[in-house]
A and B are shown apart, each in its own frame.
Chain A
């Protein structure tokens, strides 16, 4: 993995996201119903989209590992699941901050909120499992199985707004949204995807370094008493 590519992804992501958030705060029109609170959309929606993208990458990488058995798949499965977990956490927090002024409470037991929170727990479990298995090959295989089963929840998250009508609005279509709002949202979403790719590559680098140290043969004879 080229360090310069990783850095470029991060800088582009930061630039795009910062620009989009700036435009969203100052330039985009005020929403007719929610007022300025609606500007939270440019922050909340990109986090959520990117979190769903990250866990989808993880799902594909888990299948790839079970199928091909190459370490790179495992590194990407781990990196994308961890990034997905953090992004899901941010999606939850920003959603709660938006929910308080619009719905009157930080949390409601709405189907979409619930299933998204469950997704957070599922990937928390995935990350926890990896911490408790030392053998790298066993860890990779078992984590891949768990990663595939955990992804079952993601279609439920996407469809929950349509299946059960709760408080969360259904997906907006680009046709019904003001073009300036659409531009800000898309810029922020693309920027967030770049940031996601940056974090995933950085995490995969750390994972690779750890894996290399685990797979390296143990040092020949340690001097007596060195263990203590």
Chain B
């Protein structure tokens, strides 16, 4: 199968996935609630909150991502829809690319909701311009979405999936979380030494590793 064919099938899967975007509303509300809770927990300490805004933002995104990811596979297992999906003449790699891509796009969309809110709540400004923030948000979202999609598929067939998904996913994406938080913090606090690029490179490296491994391993997960 050619790469073009794989990608074409991936687009089809992504379009089917896109129909389930209604779940985003609930997830977005959860993300907003989390962000507000962080500022309540910190109290009215303007210096502290702006220093930790990047961390709060990514934790809110990460916690919301678990909801979005597990939901994206609950709909497949509820009515044995996954069986039907497997009967389609679609390569599992395309299935992975389509699902993971839509999950990544949903996370980017979620960060587009959370970023302005963080600016308002924490009183921060992005000194390096909004484009670089969106870039870091996208790199981080793709880094969460790929392993998240694989693990959502894994835990969908296990008992206690709500507990298992975070305990499997959170430790795995610690490098992504670390790099994304560092890069975001630098963009908020200013980056005189030009360090953001090296964290962005680390994010790109982990994105490549996770998307490659996910594409390789996903077939075995849905076959089972």
Contacts and interface: CB of A to CB of B under 8 A. Distances in A.
B168 A138 contact: no
B12 to A, nearest CB: 24
B220 A132 contact: no
B174 interface: yes
Interface stretch (B24-32, B114-122, B150-158, B189-197): B150-158
A145 B154 contact: yes
A115 B209 CA distance: 17
Interface residues of B, number: 24
Contacts of A149: 147, 150-151, 172, 213, 217
B167 A124 contact: yes
Contacts of A132: 158-160, 164
Nearest to A141: B224
A152 B154 contact: no
B131 to A, nearest CB: 28
Given A125-B168, A128-B164, A149-B150, A137 B209 contact: no
Query: At the interface, is chain B mostly helix, strand, loop or mixed?
Result: helix
Contacts of A145: 150, 154, 217, 220-221
B158 A133 contact: yes
B20 interface: no
A133 B159 contact: yes
Query: At the interface, is chain A mostly helix, strand, loop or mixed?
Result: helix
Contact of B171 (A118, A134, A138): A118
Interface size class on chain A is: 20 to 34
Interface in A141-188: 141-142, 144-146, 148-150, 152-153, 156
Contacts of B209: 152
B123 interface: no
Contact of B154 (A122, A129, A134): A129
Given A118-B174, A141-B221, A141-B224, A146 B159 contact: no
Given A129-B155, A150-B171, 17 more contacts: A114-B174, A118-B171, A122-B172, A125-B164, A126-B168, A129-B154, A132-B158, A132-B159, A133-B157, A134-B159, A141-B221, A141-B223, A145-B221, A149-B147, A149-B213, A152-B172, A153-B171
Interface of A: 66, 114-115, 118, 121-122, 124-126, 128-129, 132-134, 137-138, 141-142, 144-146, 148-150, 152-153, 156
Nearest 10 A-B pairs (CB), nearest first?
Answer: A121-B171, A125-B168, A132-B158, A141-B224, A132-B159, A122-B171, A125-B167, A145-B217, A138-B224, A142-B154
